[in-house]
Each structure stands twice: as C-alpha cells, then as structure tokens.
Structure 1
Amino acid sequence: MKRYILTGTPGAGKTTVLRHLRERGYATVEEAATSVIARSRTRGRTEPWTHDDFIDQIVGLQRRRQTRPPRPGVTVQIYDRSPICTHALSTYLGREPSDLLLAELDRIAREAVYQPQVFFIRDLGFCKPTAARRISYADSLVFEQVHRDSYRAFGYELIDVLAAPAAERADAIIGALAAGRLLAQPTTRGNTVAAEPSGRQPEPCQPAGIAKEDGWSRSV
C-alpha cells in the first residue's frame, strides 16, 4: 500500500481537492481534526482545542483510520493530513508533544507508513473562516510555515500544489502520481505538471502545477 499525505495551509481548498480525487476513484481518508472538533461540539465543547486531550483525540482517530483495512484492490490511499500535521498543530498551540503523539510519530517512521513525498496545497491568497477553522489569513500563513518546518524535521519532501481551481489541482496530483508510475493507467486529461522554484508566490489564477522545494522542475 502506498499512502500519500495531502496537507497545506488552512483554507487553501485541501478538502475540496480531496473530494475531486475521491470522485475520480481514489481511496481517500478524511481529516481527523475536523471530525474531533465536530464531535466535541456535540458534547458541549465549543472550543475543543483548549482541552488537554484535544491532540490525543486527533492522534487516536488518525491511527484508527490509518490501520483500518482498505477495500479490496486498493493500492494507493491519499490522506487528508497526518500525525506530522498533528505535531505542527501541537507546536502552533504552544504545547509539548504528548506521549501518545510521540509514540505515533515513532510508529509511522519505523513502519514507513506514509510515502516520503507529501502534496502541499498552497494558499489561495485568503482564508475563509468556518465553524472548525477560526484563523485569520495572516495566522494561516504562520500555521503553514509551522507545517513546513515539521515535515522537513521528520524528513519528508514537500511537493507544492500551486493555486488553481480545485479540479485542476486534482489533475496535477493525478499527473504526478502517474508520472511516478504508481497508477495502472496514466491520466488522459492532458494536464501539465510543472515545477516552480520554492520561493515563488503563485498568482491565484495560475494554472495548477507541482513544485518540489529543491527547485526540481519538469513538465509531463
């Protein structure tokens, strides 16, 4: 099983991109933090991230979803965030990693649970608040950098998915997977997978592309 992580800036459209991938037949795994927040609010916790057990609840749900047996024939899964994101969240909240989080980080490294390449959804130039996302655009960029730092610290390679309509971003990810020969059939939609230098800020209407942080570039 090859498990890829889809992560990125809050409000960047990550969940919508994941929905497009699911609609195109990919096995996807939903974000745990959103589920924990929704469940906590049904129990009267309006701000669950202020509670001591918030991080551990996310870690526990992530592990249960990751270890759940896949459907027969599934060889690739795409995850909406991972325990590395939970580490970034813990850091952003000013907390030391819990014992449960540290144990899970050790497990996924020891077992090589996730692929070392991580798709990072870049911001759209704004961040729309939701019931589960109460963060300004400026703070979302800080949160983004914390995520980048966490993934780098744990040895993952970030592949930027540039700002574009969600369907084009999904096409870019599919193209990248196909170019890596992870699919039985490559995409036939004719999209371009193009890298940009890591320091470049994409325009909101820029065609979707893939950019590795080391400046690697190619078109497919």
Structure 2
Amino acid sequence: MRRYILTGTPGSGKTALLRHLETTGAGVVEEAATDVIALHQALGEPEPWRSPEFVDRVLRLQRGRQRDTAAWQHDTVFFDRSPICTLALSRYAAVPPSAALLAEVERVRAGHFYERDVFFVRHQGFVQPTAARRITLAESLVFERIHEDVYRELGYTLVDVPAGPLATRAGLIEETVRRTR
C-alpha cells in the first residue's frame, strides 16, 4: 500500500481533492483535527484547540486512523494531514511537542510509513471561516510556511499543488502517483 500525505494551509482545498481522489478508487483518510474540534465543541468546549491536550487528541485519532488502513484493500491511500502536520501545529501554537508526538513522528519517518513525496496543496488566496477554522489568511500563510519547514527538516519532498481548478489539481496528483509507481 502506498500512503500519500496531502498537506497545506487551512482552506486550501485538501478535502475537495480528497473527495475527488476517493471517486477514482483511492482510499482516503480524513483530517483528524477538524473532527477533534467538532467533537469537543459538541461537548461544550467552544475553542478546543486552546486545550493543552488538543495536539495529543489529534495525534490519537490520527494513529487510530492509520491502524484502520492496515485492513484496507487499496493500492493507494491519501491522508488529509499526518502526525508531521501535528508537529507543525504544535510549533505554530507554540506548544512544546509531547513525547508521544515526537515518538510518532519518528516512527512514521524512520519506518517509511508514508511516501517521501508529500502533496503540498497551496492556498487559494482566501480562507473561508467555519466553526473549526478561525484562522485569517495571514495566519494561514505563517502556518503554511511552518508546514513546509517541518516536512523539509524531516527529509520529505514537497510536490507543489498550486492553486487552480479542482480537476487540474487532482490531475497533477494522479499523474505524479502514476509516474512514481
């Protein structure tokens, strides 16, 4: 099984790309942070990202979703973010990474869990606020840069997915996957 990461700034279109790739028969794994936020907001915590446990909550959900893919019959799986993104989130939030997060990042890096080519989905020039996404465009560009830095530090190759129509972006990803088989 080949596991690819889609990463980038909030609101860049990663979820739409994931939906498109899913229609081609690829396995897809949803982003964990949005689901952690939705759950804890439903439990009465209006800003769960401010909790000291937030990063590790995201990590636990990511690890569970990783384990679930072991039984899948897909040749290719796309992950909307990864524990490496969670490390970037930790840096962005100025929260020291937990031992569990550092161990997980090392596990996936050293064990080559994900492909070395990471699809870096670029911002589209705006951010649509949601209950879980309360980041400005300026803040998201800082977050984007931190993601780039973290992935490069860990030895991943970023495949640039520039802003543009969904079909064009998805085609770039599909062609890259075909070419690297």
- Using the size of structure 2 for normalisation, the TM-score is 0.96
Structure 1 gap segments, 5+ residues each:
182-220
1:159 aligns with 2:164: no
**CA distance, structure 2, for counterparts of residue 26 and residue 112 of structure 1:** 20
**CA distance, structure 1, for counterparts of residue 125 and residue 32 of structure 2:** 25
**CA distance, structure 2, for counterparts of residue 127 and residue 118 of structure 1:** 22
> 1:14-163 residue pairs with structure 2 within 5 A?
14-68=14-68, 69-72=70-73, 74-163=74-163
**CA distance, structure 1, for counterparts of residue 42 and residue 100 of structure 2:** 24
**CA distance, structure 2, for counterparts of residue 162 and residue 142 of structure 1:** 17
**CA distance, structure 2, for counterparts of residue 79 and residue 8 of structure 1:** 12
Q: Which residue of 2 aligns with 1:215?
A: none
Give the deviation of 1:167 after TM superposition.
Answer: 2.1
**CA distance, structure 1, for counterparts of residue 163 and residue 35 of structure 2:** 26
Give the deviation of 1:99 after TM superposition.
Answer: 1.1
Paired amino acid for 1:71: W
Paired amino acid for 1:55: V
Give the deviation of 1:172 after TM superposition.
Answer: 1.3
**CA distance, structure 1, for counterparts of residue 2 and residue 72 of structure 2:** 14
CA RMSD of aligned residues (A): 1.0
Partner of 1:88, secondary structure, is helix
Partner of 1:44, secondary structure, is coil
Partner of 1:175, secondary structure, is helix
Render the CA deviation track for 1:22-59: whole Å, top value 9, x for unaligned.
11211010001011001111111110011111000111
- Using the size of structure 1 for normalisation, the TM-score is 0.80
Q: Which residue of 2 aligns with 1:10?
A: 10
The runs of at least 4 aligned residues of structure 1 exceeding 2 Å deviation read: 69-72
Once the two structures are aligned, what percentage of the paired residues are identical?
51
**CA distance, structure 2, for counterparts of residue 70 and residue 35 of structure 1:** 22
**CA distance, structure 1, for counterparts of residue 101 and residue 72 of structure 2:** 27
Larger radius of gyration: 1
The count of aligned residue pairs is 180
Q: Greater helix percent: which structure?
A: 2
Give the deviation of 1:127 after TM superposition.
Answer: 1.2
